[in-house]
């Protein structure tokens, strides 16, 4: 079933809530019943990007500060405001906003489309997070190496028996030394 042109604005207004509903009531009060085209223009003026916004400059200045997923969403929101960008330009702008070493990892793959570059960035981010967690786990579970005491005693200069060794306890990080030979 097709919606008649004159009913589109009324039907759309039923789905507005919060600030958008308040805004529409003001438009309706000030302008009466408006056409669909005029409604779309008013919506873009009120809720769209500023008229004089430079989408390309904002896209160029965008840098990843959180997750790749969040950066990707911000990038796509700005990209839809930029006309005439070629696919390689889109990929270059996307990778330029990534931090190192993620940028280099994605650029080395020479993606042929933006979706592939974005997918690679998410995959490399997951790999980096996983390897970082693995290194942290290995570092915290490692027992510190113990230093062997001098093999000589104060009373004599004879070496200690070969059977005396330093034993590292896994329960504590303090080394256990055999009692001195007298």
Q: Which domain holds residue 75?
A: 55-135
Note whether residue 89 is domain-resident: yes
Note whether residue 148 is domain-resident: no
Note whether residue 72 is domain-resident: yes
Do residues 116 and 100 lie in contact, with contact meaning Cβ atoms separated by under 8 Å? no
pTM, rounded to two decimals: 0.49
Same domain, 115 and 63: yes
In this predicted structure, what is the pLDDT of residue 158? 52
Note whether residue 145 is domain-resident: no
Determine what percent of the chain is predicted with pLDDT higher than 70: 69
Same domain, 83 and 125: yes
Per-residue pLDDT, averaged over 46-52, amounts to 70
pLDDT band of 21, cuts 50, 70, 90? confident
Q: How many domains does the chain have?
A: 2
In this predicted structure, what is the pLDDT of residue 164? 46
Same domain, 10 and 76: no
Compute the mean pLDDT over every residue in the chain, rounded to the nearest whole number: 77
Q: Which of 157, 96, 85, 86 is nearest to 121 (CA)?
A: 96
């Amino acid at each position: 079933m097709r919606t008649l042109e004159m009913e589109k604005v009324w039907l759309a207004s039923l789905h507005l809530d919060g600030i958008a509903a308040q805004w529409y009531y003001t438009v309706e009060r000030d302008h009466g019943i408006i056409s669909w085209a005029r409604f779309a223009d008013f919506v873009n003026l009120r809720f769209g990007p500023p008229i004089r916004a430079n989408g390309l400059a904002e896209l160029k200045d965008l840098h990843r500060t959180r997750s790749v997923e969040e950066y990707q969403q911000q990038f796509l929101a700005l990209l839809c405001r930029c006309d005439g960008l070629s696919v390689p330009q889109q990929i270059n702008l996307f990778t330029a906003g990534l931090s190192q070493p993620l940028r280099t990892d994605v650029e080395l793959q020479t993606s042929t489309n933006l979706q592939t570059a974005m997918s690679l960035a998410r995959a490399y981010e997951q790999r980096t997070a996983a390897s970082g967690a693995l290194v942290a786990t290995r570092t915290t579970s490692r027992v510190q190496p113990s230093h062997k005491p001098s093999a000589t005693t104060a009373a004599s200069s004879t070496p200690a028996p070969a059977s005396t060794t330093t034993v590292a306890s896994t329960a504590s990080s303090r080394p256990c030394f055999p009692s001195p030979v007298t």
